[in-house]
Structure 1
Amino acid sequence: MRVPFQTAGTGERHSCAPRRHDSVWLHPDWAAHLASPLDAAAQAAVAGWCAAGRPLVTARRQPGDAAATLRLGLALPTCDGRRRIGLHLDTAAVARVAPPPPLAAALVAAPPAWREALAALAAAAAGLGVDCRVYGSLAWQFLSGAEYLRPASDVDLLLAADVWPALERLLGRLAETTVPRLDGEVLLPDGDAVAWRELAARPARVLVKGPDRVGFRSHAGVIAAFGGA
């Protein structure tokens, strides 16, 4: 199947356009490429995080952002108070970009009580040809090795498929899973995203999130984006 997640390799500095939820590693001199000010405490936290070889995550662009800049987010782990830091950087600061981790790989970082259910979901997605990845707390815990998950945490899934029927079948399976609680988004073929729970509920309109905008689209229009039912 077509996999819509793209990876930029290591090497020379380059302009890139990471997608929301992508992991982004920065060059050591990233602070020289700040496009908006960052307070000293936040800058120190980001510096320590990057020095440990850990990535940040791409966030939605803001109105007026220059084309050669991007927004990144850092959610610090439980031991650091779960503080969130936002960065606005020139793309020259980017060393490497990777897509969100696959659920099949990241489930090793989940609590043992969740793993059987998550492994079954990963297998079901693979069998249907749906690309199933994770973001949020499980992804942070998997990528960093630090503690993020709590017993009541959601598992945020990012789903992508070529055709609607396969995705529809998987949504039914997700809705039946109660532990852990599943949340997340469906990535549409045009790059926008919609909450999978909202899509599964089949309202007349759904809230759609783009790289730099939020708006509404009809449920039928979302299905049409996959080429129809």
Structure 2
Amino acid sequence: MTQLIQLKGVAKRYDGTGAPVLGPLTLSVAKGEALAVTGPSGSGKSTLLNLVSGLDRPTDGAVIVAGRRIDRLSEHALARFRRAHIGMAFQFFHLLDDLTVSDNIQLPARLTGVGRREAASRAGELMEMLGIQQHARACPGRLSGGERQRVGVARALVNRPELLLADEPTGALDTASGHDVRDLLTDLHRGGQTIVLVTHDLSLAGAVASRTIHLVDGHLTLDTHARAVR
């Protein structure tokens, strides 16, 4: 099975001398897997996601994503790598309120040099797939939380990334909207999308993930696979 993510002896210290906030950690994530990362606040979940995305660099060890050792890439090369291989969905959406839903979704594609017509076509496909096509010309501020998260996921997927990273994607949502996003992530995983999901919500992890790891004080304390194929 192809390993999309490999962390080899990874540790992260922020003060340079103290105990690491994460690791040392060795971990692999296979292509097509949906991994949930759980644990209490301060356990290293967000640090792990930042290392996998290249937004942060390890103090020790190697981070390999899609066959590239990303901790050795320059900032410019990392930005290009992220645009091509990684999509990111955030707890608070980070949408641009002065752009329409369609333009928000197209933005990462346009930044990679995709033409306007092709980007608009891809955004249209995603909006239809995620059930938000009726909001194409609306601004995000007019949408519900669940709808805005769907826009955020569509934006994350517009460049057809191999890896989708989701950081507490239901954390700012009401229960009904959270269920919508849960169902969306489940459907994406069933379609073959590789997902790494950071969440405090064990019910979300149980519904979406084929595998769950638990971190405590930066160390891996549990690594379990779902009993049934979803």
Short-chain TM bin:
0.3 to 0.5
Q: What TM-score, normalized by structure 1, do the two folds share?
A: 0.34
Q: What TM-score, normalized by structure 2, do the two folds share?
A: 0.34
Between structures 1 and 2, the one with greater helix share: 2
